Structure 1
Amino acid sequence: MQYKKILIMLKPYKYFSLLIICIFMALQGMAQQKTKPLNTHGGNLFSAGFAAGFIGGLYDAFYPYKQLLKQGDFGLGAPGKLDGELLLLNGKLYQTQATGKTTQLIDTGKTPYAVVCFFQPKKVYKRTGELTKAGLFSYLDSLLTNTNGIYAIHIKGKFRLVKTRAFPPVEKPYLPLAAMLDRQHFFNHTDIDGDLVGFRTPAFMEGSFITGYHFHFLSADKANGGHMIDVITQDITVEIDLLNSYTMQLPQTTDFNNFDFKKDRKDDIKSVENGKKQ
């Protein structure tokens, strides 16, 4: 009706009236666009904390879980004072302690280190038959063809074996993680269903992130989990999300301000990832 009224009013000015209508419709479309919420989720890997700093002993929690959940619904990390391992799946946080106990967390705590994203898988693959850890990583390499891509990876299904670990809580003065490998608690889960949540980050992100593959595990019954040390898959579904940016929140603490970042911690990170001295 609005357009008809305008046409009648501007009939003597045929071409001018068409111009006015076009402008009117364009402005109306812009107004409608402004009312639509922008999709700011997806595509970004967010880190609370700096990987090399955490590996080197920055275990004091500083970043609230409530804020972390605004940055992603998928990821992994550590609780304050190194009290086990964290996993974030479908917007829910889980903690696996050194006792093996795994529980869903409320969002009132804080973390010293976590990496998360809003998981929006673009590709899905199914794989049957057993794969060792080396075989799984080789299979993933065949799928993740962008050498310098930042990938979020969800692996769900049946596992012949998942070996996990968790550290017990520590008190100051903190030692680097690589100096506390003898304190790890290991758990062997056989013939188990569950989820691997993780990332593959490229070499140019070394230090600020843990590069290469990094996975945490959560059993289907949510009773077991931890950092993945070893695995033998059986029947799995692999979901992949290629991220295109990363951001980081750094601790504003005296310990971080005085931390020695000049030390090369590549071997320490490898030792911690694999659960043994490299």
Structure 2
Amino acid sequence: MANHLYQYSILSALMNGICREGTTVAKLLTHGDHGLGTISGLNGEIIIVDKEVYHFLPDGNLREVEPTDIIPFAMITRFEPTLTKQPITLNMSTISKELSPLLPASQNSFLSIRVDALFTRVTFRVIPAQSEARESLSELAKRQELHHATHSRGVLVGFWSPGFTSGFSVAGFHLHFLSDDRAQGGHVMEFDAEDVVLRAAAINEYNVEFPASGEFQDEPIGEVLAKDLHAAEGQ
């Protein structure tokens, strides 16, 4: 179903270091063609564009994905935009305004977002793998690798999540970058873009699959403060 959001696991699980087990790439792709996530052990960033899955490692290299690769967290949809705009420029400060009328008209729904552009500057990170079991996303973020691209054509894919979903997702924007030459990609921190095509859609159906694994169910997942989630996600 188009513009229906499927999510595997929750960000609070990653914040508690629960990220070794999960679904597979093959199963994930039955739910859509546009999304983002991570891989077992938080070893890098996953970007899903036009039903192709890209896995960038902490050193910045692209790794070929296998259908059996384990995905402990992901968000994915069948993307059919209902809004298309071509602003002259775009950045993190202006994207909310450019998403009008979806924001604020759909501010309590999810938005799926795609930005095709010439990125004059984009900063993105790739999370390193856990060095021990249950190492949290917050700890890993302290030693994340930051990467930069300038004058690079590429695409941003991701979502805007309403505030009440904090803990399940991260409230606000969660975007991943992929260069057109597929040489660079990761979790977006900042960007400036021109020659922009911005596409988006409101999502009113949201399905979360909780892992049935012992890792997920062994102990209670504690409350995660929004400020800690935003810090771990670089917002």
Q: TM-score range by the shorter chain?
A: over 0.9
Matched-pair contact (CA < 8 Å) for 1:201–1:209:
yes
- Structure 2, unmatched stretches of 5+, are none
8 A contact 1:61–1:79 mirrored in 2: no
- Kept after mapping to 2: 8 A contact 1:92/1:104: no
- Of 111, 119, 134, the match for 1:151: 111
Say which structure is richer in strand.
Answer: 2
User: Is the 1:53–1:259 contact (alpha carbons within 8 Å) kept by the matching residues of 2?
Assistant: no
- Count of aligned positions: 234
- After TM superposition, the structure 1 = structure 2 runs for residues 168-247 of structure 1, keeping only pairs within 5 Å, are 168-247=128-207
Residue 257 of structure 1 aligns with which residue?
217
Matching of residue 133 in structure 1 with residue 92 in structure 2: yes
Task: Provide the rounded CA distance (Å) in 2 between the counterparts of 1:138 and 1:61.
Answer: 38
Q: Compare CA radii of gyration and give the structure with the larger one.
A: 1
SS at match of 2:229: helix
By relative contact order (CA 8 Å, sep 6+), the higher-ranking structure is 2
8 Å Cα contact 1:42-1:243 kept in structure 2: no
Distance 1:114 1:81 in 2: 13
**Which residue of 1 is the match for residue 29 of structure 2?**
69
Q: Which amino acid aligns with 1:140?
A: L
Q: Is the 8 A contact 2:33 2:51 kept in 1?
A: yes
Separation of aligned partners in 1, 2:11 and 2:199: 25
Which one has the bigger helix percentage? Answer: 1
Aligned partners of 1:160 and 1:234 also within 8 Å: yes
Q: 1:267 aligns with which of 227, 230, 234?
A: 227
- CA shift for structure 1 position 141: 5.5
State the SS of the aligned residue for 1:60. coil
Structure 1: 4+ residue segments shifted above 6 A: none
**What TM-score results when the alignment is normalised by the length of structure 1?**
0.79
Please, what is the CA RMSD of the aligned residues?
Answer: 1.7
1:56 counterpart = 2:16: yes
The CA deviation at 1:142 is 5.7
Contact 1:194–1:220 (8 Å) recurs in 2:
yes
Cα distance between partner residues in 2 of 1:152 and 1:104: 25
Distance apart, 1:132 and its partner CA: 3.5
| Unmatched 5+ stretches in structure 1 | 1-40
Shift of 1:104: 4.5
The percentage of aligned residue pairs carrying the same residue is 25
Q: Quick one: which amino acid aligns to residue 60 of structure 1?
A: R
